[in-house]
Amino acid sequence: MVSLKDIAQRCGVSTATVSKALNGQPDIGEETRSRILRIADELGYMANASARALKTKRSYNIGVLFVDPMHGGLAHEFFSTVLDSIRSEAERHGYDLTFINRGLGQRETSYLQHCRYRGVDGVVIASADFTDPMVTELVQSDLPVATIDHVFNDRIAVLSDNLMGMDALVRFVAAKGHRKIALIHGESTSVTVGRLTGFHRACEELGIQIPDKWIRQGVFHDPKSCGAITRELLADPERPTCIFFPDDYSCIGGLNAIHDAGLRVPEDISAVGYDGIPLSRIVSPVLPGSSSRSSIRAPRSSTA
Amino acid sequence: MVSLKDIAQRCGVSTATVSKALNGQPDIGEETRSRILRIADELGYMANASARALKTKRSYNIGVLFVDPMHGGLAHEFFSTVLDSIRSEAERHGYDLTFINRGLGQRETSYLQHCRYRGVDGVVIASADFTDPMVTELVQSDLPVATIDHVFNDRIAVLSDNLMGMDALVRFVAAKGHRKIALIHGESTSVTVGRLTGFHRACEELGIQIPDKWIRQGVFHDPKSCGAITRELLADPERPTCIFFPDDYSCIGGLNAIHDAGLRVPEDISAVGYDGIPLSRIVSPVLPGSSSRSSIRAPRSSTA
DNA sequence: CCTTTTTACTTAATCGTTTTCGTGATCTCA
DNA sequence: TGAGATCACGAAAACGATTAAGTAAAAAGG
């Protein structure tokens, strides 16, 4: 590998000069600089990230915590999209992304230790069990941490605007004529709270009365539980005309339940999933609400 | 950060001794070693990956090339699953995964340069444009490279067994009674070749005659084109009873076309997607063939 | 013309490890 | 007991970069 020393030799200057020239320091003569740049290019020089990180304490590397309780990990559609956004944004700023695991081979390490080992400049907690002590340890450390769709005390958080998203969704289906709307929401998280708030607010403002029995707690990404709840809702004599699901994935469980009940979508009943992952735009009928939640487009962020 | 020096001081030995003790070198006394280990643990010592990599030229870091021509990037279901497998396997061996981009901030760099910069020990090309000169440059470099579902000259490749997978799939639907099978395959790649071979072989062995007009080229992951072809197939007076799609995603386009034609699945016609991503097991009817292609479970690999 | 300032470098230390080589001390065995 | 082997550890260089401090030469100022 070609190093600063090689360039220095070829140019007849010291490595310090080369380093400064390459980093745009002001105390280098113009012609010396251009000569160094040319030679560096000729030799195909690439800095050594390790050496640089060792000296400067900055790795230009961001750790990503991405554990999915369900098996399938990265296949989680919504977060995969988010991760891709993070990646391209990081790239624009000269950062790379490294996955943070627990454990390095044999050694079991905490997430925080792993971060220190790799010397990441910060961590994005994209998807994780926020009650895990190791996660809270990480959050409470001095490392810059950003969380997705979860708020920790005074740390940066990128949030989907669930309140506005749900608000828009309600107005959308209301505009289609729906008045009998059922809401299956996920577990009690800040995401759910936002959506519930948006739901109630929009219904109230639109003058729509929703009986409590139509607001049910399901499980995120669980077609089975959401399907079961759907069956119960369909058994109701004054059946809702539209059912909201916590996400597009669980929505599929609902669609199956509807199908099994001999009902057709959208003629007999409408089903709406939240998220708007690419897939959902293809499923017939197209799930509305796709535009209401789009990765990091319009985050509400609070700064540490 | 606590370093070797801190431990050395506390233990009254040199940093060399500490390093050797921690790395299990044989020339350290037992009691010295255990004392060092204890103190290291007490102080919460973590090695500095940069310093180590700088000295040893091994980063225990693997680069991942994961560019998706379609927008949506990581959301690509099948490869996301593959990526997750790679990750957990890498973790077991003490390796981390870092995404390889082109460009670091302003600087445009090739993939290879980026790899050298980060000092990765190897690269996994999970999904990329294999005709891209930058990709071939990477493949032809001295870096260890492994590709997924694509064979490069003499490099390691992890392949789905498309031939056997398709063979099994044909036998599966044939056992269900299907004789009029249509195959929509993807673009001409090694994956497609394997599947076509398997398809023809199985049909021949089962004594099933398939007219050429039922073997059509579609586009991977493109519900639109596959939907259009499906429409054409349905227009055929002697309609096939079963249609194969290149993947579960494009299958959805086909299902829509079938639905639009007023036909029911699976009563009137069967649709089969390849891949077996989690989602497809939920869609009604469940897509068969899920087990025929599973990430890295049964790879056929050729070594460099 | 001599002093001060500026310019354009160089020297050398440093980041945290690993690793080769050296060196006393202890042990082995005839 | 004394020579050689073994053991346990230390000294120091090296990896490739950054950067504070120093310096010679050129420019500026009076």
B303 is a domain residue: no
Same domain, A175 and A272: yes
Task: Pick the closest to residue B165 from B302, B252, B301, B295 (CA basis).
Answer: B295
Rounded to whole angstroms, the Cα distance separating B269 from A159 reads 44
Nucleotide nearest to B17 (CA to C1'): D9
Which DSSP category does B286 fall into?
A: P
Same domain, A147 and A186: no
Q: What is the pLDDT of residue B80?
A: 72
B132 is a domain residue: yes
pTM (2 decimals)?
Answer: 0.76
CATH number of the structural domain spanning residue B16: 1.10.260.40
Same domain, B182 and B274: yes
Same domain, B41 and B21: yes
Residue B78 above 70 pLDDT? no
Range of the domain at A25: 4-47
Q: pLDDT confidence of B247, banded at 50, 70, 90?
A: confident
Same domain, A67 and A41: no
Closest Cβ opposite residue A113 in set B46, B101, B284? B46
Chain B contact for A263, CB < 8 A? no
Q: Which residues contact A204 (CB under 8 A, 6 or more apart)?
A: none
Same domain, B76 and B136: yes
Q: Which residues contact A283 (CB under 8 A, 6 or more apart)?
A: A248, A252, A255, B252
A53 is a domain residue: no
Q: pLDDT confidence of A78, banded at 50, 70, 90?
A: low
Work out the burial of residue B133: count CB atoms within 10 Å of its CB; fewer than 13 is exposed, 13-18 middle, 19 or more buried.
exposed
Same domain, B275 and B183: yes
Task: Pick the closest to residue A145 from A170, A112, A177 (CA basis).
Answer: A112
A56 is a domain residue: no
Q: pLDDT confidence of A27, banded at 50, 70, 90?
A: very high
CA B93 to C1' C19, whole Å: 24
When mean pLDDT is compared across A33-42, B230-239, B288-297, the lowest value belongs to B288-297
Same domain, A117 and A22: no
Give the number of beta-carbon pairs within 8 Å between A and B.
Answer: 154
Chain A contact for B98, CB < 8 A? yes
> Number of structural domains, chain A?
3
When mean pLDDT is compared across A1-15, B51-65, B210-224, the lowest value belongs to B210-224
Residue B73 above 80 pLDDT? no
Question: Which span out of A259-263, B30-34, B77-81 was modeled with the highest average pLDDT?
Answer: B30-34
Q: What is the pLDDT of residue B69?
A: 57
B172 is a domain residue: yes
**B15 C-beta less than 7 Å away from strand C:** yes
Kind and range of the H or E element at A245?
strand A242-245
Q: What is the pLDDT of residue A70?
A: 54
The SS3 assignment for B203 reads: helix
B31 alpha carbon, distance to own chain's centre: 47
Rounded to whole angstroms, the Cα distance separating B230 from B289 reads 19
Same domain, B280 and B235: yes
Q: What is the pLDDT of residue B282?
A: 43
| A46·B109 Cβ contact <8 A | yes
Same domain, B67 and B146: yes
Nucleotides of D under 7 A from a protein CB: 7-12, 14-20
Q: Tell me which of A221 and B96 has the higher pLDDT.
A: B96
User: Nearest CA of chain B to the CA of A276: how many Å?
Assistant: 12
Return the percentage of chain B with pLDDT > 70, whole number: 85
Residue type, B221: H
Q: Tell me which of A175 and B7 has the higher pLDDT.
A: B7
Q: What is the pLDDT of residue B56?
A: 97
Q: Which residues contact B298 (CB under 8 A, 6 or more apart)?
A: B161
Q: Which residue, A137, A159, A181, sits at the end of a domain?
A: A159
Q: Which residue, B122, B144, B159, sits at the end of a domain?
A: B159
Q: Which residue, B159, B193, B218, sits at the end of a domain?
A: B159
Same domain, A166 and A288: yes
A299 is a domain residue: no
Residues of A in contact with B107 (CB under 8 A): 94
Calculate Rg over the CA atoms of chain A: 26
Q: Tell me which of A86 and B115 has the higher pLDDT.
A: B115
Residue type, B48: N
B275 is a domain residue: yes
The 10s digit of each residue's pLDDT in A196-232 is 999 999 999 999 999 999 999 999 888 889 999 999 9
The 10s digit of each residue's pLDDT in A111-138 is 999 999 999 999 999 877 888 999 999 9
The overall average pLDDT reported for chain B is 83
Residue B295 above 70 pLDDT? no
Rounded to whole angstroms, the Cα distance separating A112 from A122 reads 11
Q: What is the pLDDT of residue B25?
A: 93
Same domain, B178 and B269: yes
B113 is a domain residue: yes
Residue A304 above 70 pLDDT? no
Residue B53 above 80 pLDDT? yes
Average pLDDT of span A141-147: 93
Residues of A in contact with B61 (CB under 8 A): 98
CATH number of the structural domain spanning residue B127: 3.40.50.2300
Residue in the block written with tokens 């071939």:
B136
Average pLDDT of span A81-94: 85
